[in-house]
Structure 1
Amino acid sequence: MFLADCVQHVAVAAFGMGSWLSVNAVYVQLPLLIYIVPEGWNLATYIVLLVQIACIAPLIYGILDILMECISNKTWKRYNQMVLIPIMLVLSGFGLLMAAFTYDQPVVIDNAKHSYWLFVAILIMSIPCTTADVLFLPYITKLENFKYVTTFFIGMGLSALLPSTVSLIQGASANLNGTVPNAWGSTEGSVLFGPRSYLVIMVALTFVSLLEIAVSFDLSDRLEDTRRNEKCQLFKLLEFTRFENFCPNIYFWSTLLTVMMNPIFCFLQFCIAFKNTCFFIIWASVSFALVAFAFTMALVGKVDGLAPVLLVVFGLSSGLISWERTAIAQILRQTSTARGLFWCGAFTQIGSFIGALTMFVLTEVVGIFRKQ
């Protein structure tokens, strides 16, 4: 029994890992991609914009799911997640594979080079990522142990930690002084292997996640539906989007520290479970204060001497937000049906959309942040 439970926790973590693996993998590869793509560091902004465009996918799924529930479509209720989740993971892997072979193939549009095919690949892989909050998360209610919710969020943290770890081994933080990195092999400047090799490795990790979801499906099919149908208070807390490191010189290390904090803080939910609403309000206030500090430092512009402080702020704020989201989702899993986790994921994605859109306007339209 203990061994089976451990296997299931590993399967759920690997399943969660596939949720945002693809987009996170491209993000942590930016320090190398900027030497290749014509957009340079602006590629990060385009990624954010493409991810938000992909938010139409969870919106369509949400509307369809609500309509099917209204007409009591039992076939949809039983099989939609079993069919759509593997399809989403395949899409994620396909997007990564497409990015691996098109990132260095720009297209000339209006006498200017653009990474058109890379943008298409990012859009494809963004669809599973944005849909994960409303598709993957409610599926966890089919698993008997409510602690699988925490395991799932640990897996989501791994979707950023593992790409960052591989990137660290790769040497993506190396200063190439304008040298274009090789696609497959090593590059002078301590880069062990190229972006193409890195992205292919990420495809393999996505395939692992696809295999592990089969284990979760097998267990969920054996469980009887004994869920309580009682109403609960739905915590509609909007997700704070991470202020993704405005200074290129600390980009890599702040990203690495941030993604390390996510699974660590999520794991703390196994040890310390908070349920008090007042505590959640205080928690959110502290997280907001940390994010506001990072935002202020970005406005000031001169942050070289505060780089270590900013690293801690980025990591701590991301960790606290991840822990709070995990705690809220676990409460909803204990006191509600799959619909509760659906709305938890929906409001998380809505908050992410609002935050990302706001940052896009501030950086690209208003231009309030000064170049370093």
Structure 2
Amino acid sequence: MSVLTHVLACLFGLGSWVTICGLWVELPLIVPQIPEGWYLPSYLSVLIQLANVGPLGVTLAHRLCPGKLNEATLIYSIVSLGAVATFLMAFFWRETVEIGGTHRSVPLFVLTFLVSAVDCTSSVTFLPFMNRLPPVYLTSYFIGEGLSGLLPALVALAQGVGVMHCVNVTTVGHASLPGNASLVPHYQPANFSTEVFFVFLMTMMLVCLGSFLLLNVLPCVPCEPPSSARKGSREHNASKAEQKFMITSASTKLHCHSRFGTGRYSWPEVAYIFFVLAWANALTNAVLPSVQAYSCLPYGNITYHWSATMAAVANPVACFIAMFFPRRSLFLMGTLTITGTAIGAYIMGVAVLSPCPLLVNDIAGSVIIVGAWVLFVLTLSYVKVIIGVILRDEGHSALVWCGAVVQFGSMVGALTMFPLVNIYSLFQSGDPCNTHCP
């Protein structure tokens, strides 16, 4: 029965971000057919963060009326809303509305906001619900959360998203002037339509809903033992845990513990954990995704597609590693965060140099940027799992704050990147067919 519970927890986590991740990997098919073009990713980032009104409301409800919010009913509601909104997106994603003489993809923006509200609210509802199950199932949930990015990427790969070749087109000149020949990208028809892809995303939301239903009603699903037993188990685990990261030097280490959760961590350590959580999510959910096209398209459309797909693979791989090596070391957390940040800085530098970044005419450039994206997502995804495991042991309220900090960090990252991309035009997209670089 534990295997069944692992599978159900994984499928439940699958619905956490599947719709938003699906939108990102489908961009090469959506962008050519809407007026916003490649500015769409930055618009999506802002819409996703505006949808944080959902988790904000849930967090305030937990704070102001503790114990009054029925999480099961809320999860049923938001997952059903996500399924309906994704289904409607299949029919209205390319529709536009004229505003001030300019056509805008208003239906796509509205439906994106709705599915974003669902996915963002999952951070402060799904994780606290998992607190009802024994800790071993939390990693299975994180694997499912990672698969919510991987499965859409694999389906998009089978769909043939973004497969293109350059076509030589000659423009007709005047009688006294010759025509000009140039290469233009020609996208091959996808194996199936964007509408079918959105129906697939809706199906994944229904799978999530069904899994949650079974987790609630099946008598074979184990529940967390009473609080006294949980306390004894936590003390046993704490006795075997690694030495925690030293916020200050050994001679000045704070021995007073906070009243947060079990009180195991001091206030500086609690602040450190939540700062790292916000920083990692700001980078992985908003800052770097906003410039992924700028960092990859100069190397070609295939490079962009593989970076998006392999980065999606890296997320569940990190969760799978965490299942066998659930390290709680705050020192390891900091080391991996610094490593992931350094890799992210390289990706950002490449995006700033677009359309002529380093090694733009060399296959090594493509290999390095794809590898950078994989390592970036792998390291920071493992950091987020470490924090999830730590906060799981600190109780229900800690997981609620975990979800709130995740969305706060993502919001700050998105609001920071939007003016840089859309107002100040700091980044320039590369042309996959006409690269004029030395």
TM over 0.5: yes
The alpha carbon displacement at 1:143 in A equals 0.3
Please state whether the residue corresponding to 1:105 is helix, strand or coil. Answer: coil
Residue number among 114, 122, 136 corresponding to 1:147 in the alignment: 136
**Corresponding residue for residue 327 of structure 2:** 274
Give the letter aligned to residue 413 of structure 2. G
Whether the 8 Å CA contact 2:14–2:146 is kept in 1: the answer is yes
**d(CA) in 2 for partners of 1:316, 1:307:** 14
Encode CA deviations 1:224-247: one digit per residue, 9 max, x unaligned: 543437223332122242312123
Please list, as runs of the form range in 1=range in 2, the aligned pairs for 1:285-304 lying within 5 A after superposition: 285-301=338-354, 302-303=356-357, 304=360
**d(CA) in 2 for partners of 1:196, 1:339:** 40
The alpha carbon displacement at 1:223 in A equals 5.0
Question: In the alignment, is residue 241 of structure 1 matched against residue 238 of structure 2?
Answer: no
The alpha carbon displacement at 1:210 in A equals 0.6
Question: In the alignment, is residue 165 of structure 1 matched against residue 223 of structure 2?
Answer: no
The alpha carbon displacement at 1:203 in A equals 0.7
Residue number among 10, 15, 19 corresponding to 1:13 in the alignment: 10
- With over 3 angstroms needed to count, the CA separation of the structure-2 counterparts of 1:232 and 1:131, relative to structure 1, is farther
The alpha carbon displacement at 1:7 in A equals 0.7
Please state whether the residue corresponding to 2:131 is helix, strand or coil. Answer: helix
- With over 3 angstroms needed to count, the CA separation of the structure-2 counterparts of 1:120 and 1:240, relative to structure 1, is closer
Whether the 8 Å CA contact 2:12–2:211 is kept in 1: the answer is yes
**Corresponding residue for residue 264 of structure 2:** 232
**Corresponding residue for residue 94 of structure 1:** 84
**d(CA) in 1 for partners of 2:37, 2:342:** 31
Whether the 8 Å CA contact 2:9–2:137 is kept in 1: the answer is yes
Question: In the alignment, is residue 310 of structure 1 matched against residue 309 of structure 2?
Answer: no
Whether the 8 Å CA contact 2:326–2:389 is kept in 1: the answer is no
Please list, as runs of the form range in 1=range in 2, the aligned pairs for 1:74-223 lying within 5 A after superposition: 76-77=68-69, 80-144=70-134, 146-175=135-164, 189-218=188-217
Whether the 8 Å CA contact 1:50–1:119 is kept in 2: the answer is yes
Encode CA deviations 1:284-327: one digit per residue, 9 max, x unaligned: 11111111111111112223332211111111111111111111
Question: In the alignment, is residue 35 of structure 1 matched against residue 24 of structure 2?
Answer: no
**d(CA) in 1 for partners of 2:81, 2:344:** 33
Please state whether the residue corresponding to 1:104 is helix, strand or coil. Answer: coil
Give the letter aligned to residue 307 of structure 1. S
The answer for unaligned runs of 5 or more in structure 2 is: 168-185, 232-260, 431-438
The alpha carbon displacement at 1:370 in A equals 2.3
Give the letter aligned to residue 426 of structure 2. I
**Corresponding residue for residue 417 of structure 2:** 359
**Corresponding residue for residue 182 of structure 2:** none
Please state whether the residue corresponding to 1:19 is helix, strand or coil. Answer: coil
Encode CA deviations 1:137-192: one digit per residue, 9 max, x unaligned: 11111002x121211111111111111111111111212779xxxxxxxx982511
**d(CA) in 1 for partners of 2:262, 2:334:** 24
**d(CA) in 2 for partners of 1:274, 1:224:** 23
**d(CA) in 2 for partners of 1:195, 1:232:** 49
Question: In the alignment, is residue 61 of structure 1 matched against residue 58 of structure 2?
Answer: yes
Please state whether the residue corresponding to 1:108 is helix, strand or coil. Answer: strand
Per the normalisation by structure 1, the TM-score is 0.90
Please state whether the residue corresponding to 1:113 is helix, strand or coil. Answer: strand
Q: Report sequence identity in percent.
A: 28
**Corresponding residue for residue 22 of structure 2:** 25
Whether the 8 Å CA contact 1:269–1:327 is kept in 2: the answer is yes
The alpha carbon displacement at 1:44 in A equals 1.3
**d(CA) in 2 for partners of 1:293, 1:40:** 25
More helix by share: 1
**d(CA) in 2 for partners of 1:273, 1:207:** 30
The alpha carbon displacement at 1:221 in A equals 8.4
Per the normalisation by structure 2, the TM-score is 0.77
**d(CA) in 2 for partners of 1:9, 1:323:** 19
**Corresponding residue for residue 234 of structure 2:** none
**d(CA) in 2 for partners of 1:57, 1:195:** 27
Encode CA deviations 1:90-139: one digit per residue, 9 max, x unaligned: 11111211111001221122221111111111011000111111111111
Whether the 8 Å CA contact 2:52–2:121 is kept in 1: the answer is yes
**Corresponding residue for residue 339 of structure 1:** 397
- Structure number, greater radius of gyration: 2
Q: CA RMSD in A?
A: 2.0
The alpha carbon displacement at 1:279 in A equals 1.6
Q: Which runs of 4+ in 1 moved over 4 A?
A: 219-224
**d(CA) in 1 for partners of 2:141, 2:402:** 14
Please state whether the residue corresponding to 1:350 is helix, strand or coil. Answer: helix
Whether the 8 Å CA contact 2:333–2:386 is kept in 1: the answer is no
Give the letter aligned to residue 120 of structure 1. V
Whether the 8 Å CA contact 1:147–1:330 is kept in 2: the answer is no
Encode CA deviations 1:320-367: one digit per residue, 9 max, x unaligned: 111111111112213x11111111222121111111111112111222
Encode CA deviations 1:51-91: one digit per residue, 9 max, x unaligned: 0110111111101111111xxx4xx25xx111011111111
